[in-house]
């Protein structure tokens, strides 16, 4: 097996193990929910327990690797060319309300480039996996992006940042405008699943601002290996730390990018 296959298998082991934890905690965290400094930015006992399981598995197999985890921050050897970006519970607000849209997301950057990604939805038992050059799968079967070629016939998905109440740099204007230009815009509440749904063709495009590397690390390679395109809003190279991402099936990428660049922010309305 190649190193990427090994990394993919270990990430899968970690994601599935964390999924068991999330299933066990589901509906039992009402008294263990706190906010991480911003209204609506929740953390539960399930987040922490899930992350603990993932970290144990990653550290056992790759003790010299670097880790960036949502709850624990930077860990391990920060000079390593290998960086694991971990979201133990993407969609915590959904989870806290028992709304069935949440996932475990584990991605691996090698020299700053996304190379391996695993996203596991334990509620629906859907496992999305990808590695550079190895393709993308859902429950071990190959997946591809949609072939929708017109923005007017597309279905999009997006999300709203936790600081949307305080910042004018939100995407409310884009949401409203693109709702009129497409067949619809959905808001699931889990960035990793949004990207997984682009990869398997359930939606044709996704954009968001205010996201962290652990939100998108796994989904980037998933979309790319499924034949899609991932860039910055303007179509240029994606900057992982920018907090903004545009991912599509490729066919509507340019038109969606152009619309995003043309829309005035809500504060200008």
Binding site per annotation, positions for Mg(2+): 70, 87, 89-90, 215
List the beta strands (DSSP E) in the chain.
33-35, 42-44, 66-69, 73-76, 82-90, 103-110, 113-121, 126-131, 135-138, 141-142, 155-158, 184-187, 205-209, 229-231, 244-248
Query: 226: part of which helix (H) or strand (E)?
Result: none
Contact, 259 vs 178, CB < 8 A? Answer: yes
172-181 vs 253-262: helix axis angle to the nearest 10?
130
Integer angstrom CA distances of residue 203 from 46, 148, 199, 223, 251? 29, 9, 8, 11, 12
Residue ranges at the known binding site: 70, 87, 89-90, 215
Half-sphere exposure of 201 (CA within 13 A, CB side): 13
Pairwise CA distance, residues 145 & 192, whole Å:
15
Contact, 10 vs 57, CB < 8 A? Answer: yes
Pairwise CA distance, residues 64 & 81, whole Å:
10
DSSP 264: P
Q: Which residues have CB under 8 Å from 3's CB, separation 6+?
A: none
Pairwise CA distance, residues 73 & 43, whole Å:
14
- The helix, strand and coil proportions of the chain, stated in percent and rounded to the nearest 5, come to 35, 25, 35
């Amino acid at each position: 097996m190649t190193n990427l296959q090994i990394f993919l298998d270990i990430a899968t082991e970690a994601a599935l193990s964390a999924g068991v934890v999330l299933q066990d905690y589901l509906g039992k965290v009402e008294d263990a929910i706190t906010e991480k400094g911003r209204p609506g930015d929740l953390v539960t006992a399930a987040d922490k327990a899930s992350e603990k399981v993932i970290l144990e598995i990653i550290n056992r197999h790759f003790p010299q690797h670097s880790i960036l985890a949502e709850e624990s921050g930077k860990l391990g050897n920060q000079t390593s060319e290998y960086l694991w970006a971990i979201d133990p519970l993407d969609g915590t607000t959904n989870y806290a309300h028992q709304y069935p849209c949440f996932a475990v997301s584990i991605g691996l950057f090698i020299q700053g480039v996304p190379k391996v990604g695993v996203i596991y939805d334990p509620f629906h038992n859907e496992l999305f996996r990808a590695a550079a050059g190895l393709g993308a799968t859902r429950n071990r079967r190959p997946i591809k992006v949609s072939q929708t070629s017109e923005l007017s016939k597309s279905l999009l998905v997006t999300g709203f940042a936790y600081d949307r109440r305080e910042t004018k740099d939100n995407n409310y204007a884009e949401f409203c405008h693109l709702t009129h230009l497409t067949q619809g815009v959905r808001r699931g509440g889990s960035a990793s699943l949004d990207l997984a749904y682009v990869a398997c063709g359930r939606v044709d495009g996704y954009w968001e601002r205010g996201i962290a590397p652990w939100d998108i690390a796994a989904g980037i390679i998933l979309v790319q290996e499924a034949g899609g395109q991932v860039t910055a809003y303007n179509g240029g190279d994606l900057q992982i730390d920018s907090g903004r991402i545009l991912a599509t099936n490729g066919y509507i990428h340019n038109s969606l990018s152009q619309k995003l660049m043309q829309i005035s922010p809500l504060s200008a309305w």
